Structure 1
């Protein structure tokens, strides 16, 4: 999840949260996710209601944060797992955050019912990643091994920490490995084989 040669992860990544690898480069068609890739990409999350007329706070994962407002139709994944569509009526920055009003949400009670919902977009609607860049969701399920040949399991999810983004894998024998997702540690991504080569000792993962 580095960015254009930077080793550190940007505080906020592009829509869907891009990551970058270094080393031998991309194998497979650039910018095209494998068939098993996740369809939905998380762009943000709804927070607490704002005011009494149905407005709601929004945590944006796009860079800049206002980029989320460019998507006029939002798909909301509720706590139940159900997905519902809501058209963005209006949105703006407020006190360093975003607030938005969605179609059909008329008062504070209806806005509160959406608190915690994840804002998603169809993967196909996002711009293709640049050279040696990947959307995190496209790499979930990939097998990970290090330069010594140790198998670190399959990518489960990503975690943002104060020191940078971390790729979490489920180890073959159980448990987890946490691997920094900075470009200097991501040596190669093979989209066709669904594998990732990392420069990170197994004992530290």
Structure 2
């Protein structure tokens, strides 16, 4: 990995994948991508991997689709044992400013996590804890807390104009049309 003078903080990066396993004997690794399509992870360069408190840049020596997955070679990692020890299990991040701005009703999941979820009448259902990808549509995991009408966890489908009425990132909340008893 590169020198610490090129390091970024956790606030400056976004995790877009993870090194899952070694591939072959020359230090290549299997990569899991959070991007859609998965090959888009290769478009964001350089990659950053955490070393202690800092994220340090890594340079790819090669990259490709391999079967149903992705594999990559990282500069300075030339054998299987070294890749296993230094890379496997590490998150892959990119600088946040490399990502295009969302807009026009499109949001990054990271922008939705933490938003307060309120019914049209103002009652609070809780906060967006996470999102799940399903075949039909994405699903918000909303957890009730001390500020909500109860402490229930609810799964709300991401259906703009049907369930999701409004998203206001500036105010940190979204309005939904949902039966709280469901």
For the criterion TM > 0.5, the same-fold answer is: yes
Question: For structure 2, which runs of at least 5 residues remain unmatched after alignment?
Answer: 1-10
Question: Which whole-Å CA distance do the structure 1 matches of 2:181 and 2:53 have between them?
Answer: 36
Counterparts in 2 of 1:81 and 1:169: CA distance versus 1, 3 Å: farther
Q: Report the counterpart of residue 173 of structure 2 in structure 1.
A: 195
Number of residue equivalences: 166
Contact 1:41–1:123 (Cα < 8 Å) also in 2: yes
SS at match of 2:107: strand
2:95 to 122, 126, 131: 122
Which of 27, 39, 63 lines up with 2:36 in the alignment?
63
Higher RCO (CA 8 Å, separation ≥ 6 residues): 1
Residue correspondence of structure 1 range 14-163 to structure 2 within 5 A: 39-77=12-50, 83-113=55-85, 114-163=87-136
Give the Å deviation of 1:158.
1.7
How far residue 196 of structure 1 moved from its aligned partner, in angstroms, is: 0.7
TM-score normalized by structure 2? 0.78
- Maintained 8 Å contact 1:56/1:111: yes
- Root mean square deviation, CA, Å: 2.3
Moved over 3 A (4+): 80-84, 161-164
TM-score, normalised via structure 1 length: 0.70
Choose 1 or 2 for highest CA Rg: 2
Q: Which structure features the higher share of helix residues?
A: 2
| Superimposed CA distance per residue, residues 9-56 of structure 1 (whole angstroms, 9 cap, x where no aligned partner) | xxxxxxxxxxxxxxxxxxxxxxxxxxxxx6432322221110011101
Structure 1: stretches of 5+ with no match in the other structure:
1-37
CA distance in 2, matches of 1:112, 1:125: 28
The answer (yes or no) to whether the contact 1:188–1:197 under 8 Å persists in 2 is yes
Conserved in 1, the CA contact under 8 Å of 2:126 and 2:143? yes
